Amino acid sequence: MTTCPCGTDRTSPNAEEIRQYTKMSMFLLLFGVSAVPSSLEFKCKKCGQIFDRLNADELKNFKY
């Protein structure tokens, strides 16, 4: 599993999910429709580094 320099991984409480949405997804979200993010990155709350991100396949299978 990918970790940041201080040892945070995806499942750590120090990991922050950064979701990015396309304009179309944002529009859907306004109406309460769940939309799949265009990207999801994991950022360490301690050192501020983005240390991991979901690839296209993982994004599709991710539970939101």
| Closest CB to Zn ion among residues 3, 25 | 3
Residue 38 Cβ vs Zn ion, minimum distance, rounded to whole Å: 24
Binding to Zn ion (CB under 5 A) within 8-27 occurs at 8
* DSSP strand pairing (15-20 vs 50-53): unpaired
Residue 47 interacting with Zn ion (CB under 5 A): yes
- Contacts with Zn ion by CB under 5 A lie at 4, 6, 8, 44, 46-47
